[in-house]
Amino acid sequence: MSGLLRISACAESGRRITFLLVKRGEPYNLLGPYLDCGRFLEAEAARPTRCLRIQGNQFMTFVTDHPVIVPNILRWIGIGLDSANSRILDLMEKKVENRVLRVLSTLYEKFGTPLLFTSQEISEIAGTTPESTLRTMGQLRDMGIITTQRGQIRIHDPAALKNIEFGSLKI
C-alpha cells in the first residue's frame, strides 16, 4: 500500500540474497499460495511501510473467481524470477564493481534520484562487502557519475552506469 520492502530469500545458515525491491502497489509474494512447501522469505521495510495481506486460501479463491488477473500475476512472477536469476548470474560471473553498478542502475530506473539507500544496503543488494561498495562508489564519485550524502545517492549520469557495465569505462 505504501513504502518500500526488501524481499530476500534466506538459508538455514542465516545468509540471505535480496532479489526484489517492492514499492507501492507491487506484490511481494505471489508464489507462496502456489507452493506446497514453505519458503523462508524475509520482507524487510526499508522505509515506513503499510502492506495488505491476503491469506493464501483467500488469494486462491480470488484468483479462481477472477481469472482475468492471471496474466498480471504471471507478469509479476516473471519479473521476480528474472530479478532473482540476474542476481544469481551476477554473483557467479561479475566482478564486485559491476554488481554495484548494476544495482545502482536498476535502482535508478525504478526509483529515480536521489536513491535513499545507504552503502550498507547497496552492498547487501549487490552481494558484496560494504568496503567494496564504498571503494566502487568512491571511484564513481571521482568520475563525477554520482554524489553521495548520508543515506542518499544522486546519479548524475545514469547512462555512464550502463557504459561501465559493458566495459566502456575503466573503474
pTM, whole model, 2 decimals?
0.71
**pLDDT (0 to 100) of residue 131:** 93
Q: What are the grid coordinates assigned to 163, written together?
A: 557504459
Give the C-alpha separation, 29 to 7, whole Å.
9
Q: Is 48 exposed, middle or buried (0-12, 13-18, 19+ CB in 10 A)?
A: exposed
- The sign one gets for the Cα dihedral 38, 40, 46, 47 is positive
Partners of 44 in the β-ladder = 6
Task: Tell me how far apart the alpha carbons of residues 157 and 146 are, in angstroms, rounded to a whole number.
Answer: 7
Residuewise pLDDT in 10s, the chain (171 residues): 678 888 887 888 877 777 778 888 888 887 777 776 666 788 888 788 888 888 878 888 989 999 999 999 899 888 878 877 877 887 778 888 888 998 899 899 888 889 988 888 898 888 888 999 999 999 999 999 999 998 899 999 998 888 665 445 555
What was the pLDDT predicted at 166? Answer: 46
**Strand 152-155, strand 146-149: pairing:** antiparallel
Inter-residue contact 46 to 5 (CB < 8 Å): yes
pLDDT of the residue at 38: 65
| pLDDT at residue 140, rounded to an integer | 93
Cell numbers 499460495 correspond to 33
Cα–Cα distance between 77 and 99 in angstroms, integer?
23
